[in-house]
Amino acid sequence: MGIGSIWERGGSGKLKGGTHRRHNKQMELYKGFFTGDYLEHITSIGPRTTGSPENEILTVHYLLEQIKLIEVQSSSLHRISVDVQRPTGSFSIDFLGGFTSYYDNITNVVVKLEPRDGAQHAVLANCHFDSVANSPGASDDAVSCSVMLEVLRVLSTSSEALRHAVIFLFNGAEENVLQASHGFITQHPWASLIRAFINLEAAGVGGKELVFQTGPENPWLVQAYVSAAKHPFASVVAQEVFQSGIIPSDTDFRIYRDFGNIPGIDLAFIENGYIYHTKYDTADRILTDSIQRAGDNILAVLKYLATSDVLPSSSKYRHGHMVFFDVLGLFVIAYPSRVGSIINYMVVTAAVLYLGKKWLRPKQKTGNYTKDFFCGLGITLVSWFTSLVTVLIIAVFVSLIGRSLSWYNHFYVSVCLYGTAAAAKIILIHTLAKRFYYMNASDRYLGEVFFDISLFVHCVSLTALTSQGLCSAFISAVWVAFPLLTKFCTRKDFKQHGAQGKFIALYLSGMFVPYLYALYLIWAVFEMFTPILGRSGTEIPPDVVLASILAGCTMILSSYFINFIYLARSTKRTMLSLTLVCVVTFLLVCSGAFFPYSSHPASPKPKRVFLQHMTRTFHDLDGNVVKRDSGIWINGFDYTGMSHITPHIPEINESIRAHCEENAPLCGFPWYLPVHFLIRKNWYLPAPEVSPGNPAHFRLVSKEQTPWDSIKLTFEATGPSHMSFYIRTHEGSTLSQWSLGNGTPVTSKGGDYFVFYSHGLQASAWRFWIEVQVLEERPEGMVTVAIAAHHLSGEEKRSSQLDALKDRFPDWTFPSAWVCTYSLFVF
């Protein structure tokens, strides 16, 4: 029975969503005697950073209260157990260049729903109730926790018995780089029961929840999702793109995979990533349709797995990969990758036989076909290369004159600027080739030659992707198989005079499937990547990235229409139209007609800025203070820097650009995460000192020489819930081991060491040690360490100067602000 049908009949939970776009009215999807508005209540608590009362007390109390109500109503067939876990631990991760994480007394709320007689195996459902600072975190990830509460209620009141347990983990420290999931999977006694998991995440606000990771291997999980999900939406393309590291993000999926050795399914909302991790991520923006879809799918899949015969012996089915993809969001096709490889090579074989038959014909029958084919291949590659170079020149110029991201709030601008330029250049090269190289060849002959060239290029792509073991190769298979079938169907019509109309109709019909699916995938790519380019740092020119993607899309989409350039009498009008659109758009972009950001209530696209009011203290080898300063450290998260801010706040300009402290780790700034290599442009506005109520204290507890001739330094630190610790060894010294992670120090990009620390409430002092191997003693010491304390919640995160500056930022920005301190020591 679906979630909707059960919830509409009554129950303990009411989970409210947003405003429906079509009907423009508030829809209350779930009605019952009790009115526990899960999503609205959680988000009304406000930002829920780990260690804050909002996260550790108010949200936890609310969750336990709702779980208790659900337990009271549960069926006698089921048993509910609840545990509040407060783990402490440490681990290293290669995310963001590599760093180490340490957590103390953070919070997990764990619920086990099992048959009355117990269960030996379980499936895990995971969400996180914490949020980033200064965001209500409705989509990331309060809505998932709300859905899980309702799924727990529905399953617990069901009259159908479960075979296996379902463990619901409401984790309270995911935004602290996956700490709570690590604490659960490595320390909780119920973790040993888990055979598979479902992780609920968000990379946007609402829309369809996309399955973007599965496994590792364990093809039976994909089959379970395809069989059970009522509204499946999945893509192996998304999985391979995400796992390539192109997207600077990670989820709890990684922790369960790497530290628990458990297979799973990773789902995330991907629509409207512009407001992800901002103040706009509110409950009213999440459509009830999105919540209904997610609820239907999660309930169905969990129920399927909890009654599955495969779950207890899942290790027997662990080997193998799956090719899976949805067809326009209607249904999912899935098959083993080995079957996919067979299909791919069969398609390649058919294409090779078709092309080989032409290549091997006697010259008197084919004329100069082989020569024309390979010359045409060269012309096609030149057209693509010059197309890419053209759009890159435009993108670099636009970036240099300070007009980057002009398309961020008007996506059509990117298509009109870069897409038209790419298409016009491709048409121009082929028009010149037709006029000056192929002037004696017939149009029909050239049309056939260039169709064969496009087929050959996609065939090479299919072979390369398949040989690399990439499941995404199925896309190239589609681009070979359907055009090849189309060619066989239109061959007679193509050769007959006066049948051009019928040929074009059949040709377009045959190309409908690959082009429709390509446009569908391209839409998904831009839906996800465009918002990411607005928060990808100051070092990656987003126009260059977007122009390259658009050029690639143009090459693919134009591939089977190049032959029409040779069949057409003239391409002059098409080229002029494309060039005119490109030139007009270029002039408008250069004039600043398209502002990148928006504060429109219905669809905000804010510029993200971090403001840290900090006081820095630098000590020398003798412990004396050699430098002390205070100011507001400003980081813009996109390529435009502060160029759009300066007209509104004149004192934020190039004259206050922050300078790197060369002898300090990570340039002597209080980085919250090691993203220094992504954001190299920052600003430092002088301001009075800050004196937070819970200041950080750091001291050297002991210094001793080990029997293996290294120096062991033991430190102790106390302070707010979030601190960052940085280490740089001096020349002649190396960091050999420490008490963090697995004992082996992990460097960040640049060679320094970064440790991310957080704690819940009532944590003890953080004591740890490092060992330094001194190969050569030097007067400047052996190691420099620094500690930054981040005050992210309560009144401590504010200062009068910070509030005053924040209020001056225009409404199309999202300034996230907090107070911090930074202390550096040399040993």
Q: Rounded distance, CA 317 to CA 320, Å?
A: 8
Find where tokens 């033991």 sit. Answer: 714
Find where tokens 């398209």 sit. Answer: 594
Q: Rounded distance, CA 819 to CA 654, Å?
A: 23
Q: Rounded distance, CA 725 to CA 744, Å?
A: 16
* 3-class state of residue 435 by DSSP: helix
**Backbone φ/ψ region at 731: left (φ over 0), alpha (ψ -120 to 50), beta:** beta
Would you call 174 a catalytic residue per the annotation? yes
Q: Could you write out the three-class secondary structure of 762-801?
A: CCCCEEEEEEEEECCCCCCCCEEEEEEEEECCCHHHCCHH
Structure tokens at 265: 């399914």
Structural contact between residues 128 and 189, judged by C-beta atoms closer than 8 angstroms: no
**Backbone φ/ψ region at 541: left (φ over 0), alpha (ψ -120 to 50), beta:** beta
Angle CA(380)–CA(384)–CA(386) in degrees, nearest 5?
Answer: 115
Read off φ and ψ for residue 237, nearest 5 degrees: -65, -45
Structure tokens at 568: 């057409």
Q: Rounded distance, CA 108 to CA 171, Å?
A: 5
* β-pairing verdict for 165-171 and 711-718: unpaired
Assign 3-state DSSP to the chain and report helix, strand, coil percentages, each to 5. Answer: 45, 25, 35
Alpha helices in 468-534 (DSSP H): 473-495, 500-510, 512-533
Which among 490, 463, 448, 236 has a CA at the least distance from the CA of 349?
Answer: 463
Catalytic residue among 174, 201, 209, 527: 174
Structure tokens at 110: 């764990």
Structural contact between residues 726 and 673, judged by C-beta atoms closer than 8 angstroms: no
Read off φ and ψ for residue 111, nearest 5 degrees: -125, 130
Structure tokens at 397: 């110029």
Q: Rounded distance, CA 103 to CA 658, Å?
A: 31
Q: For residue 141, is the peptide bond before it cis, meaning its omega torsion is within 30 degrees of 0? A: yes
Which among 429, 433, 483 has a CA at the least distance from the CA of 455?
Answer: 483
Alpha helices in 265-324 (DSSP H): 288-306
Q: Rounded distance, CA 382 to CA 426, Å?
A: 9
Buried b / exposed e along 801-817 (16+ C-beta atoms within 10 A):
bbeebbeebeebbbbbb
Angle CA(242)–CA(602)–CA(516) in degrees, nearest 5?
Answer: 45
Q: Could you write out the three-class secondary structure of 482-494?
A: HHHHHHHHHHHHH
Q: For residue 216, is the peptide bond before it cis, meaning its omega torsion is within 30 degrees of 0? A: yes
Q: Rounded distance, CA 350 to CA 192, Å?
A: 50
Q: Rounded distance, CA 467 to CA 420, Å?
A: 34
Q: Rounded distance, CA 178 to CA 174, Å?
A: 4
**Mind telling me the catalytic residues?**
174
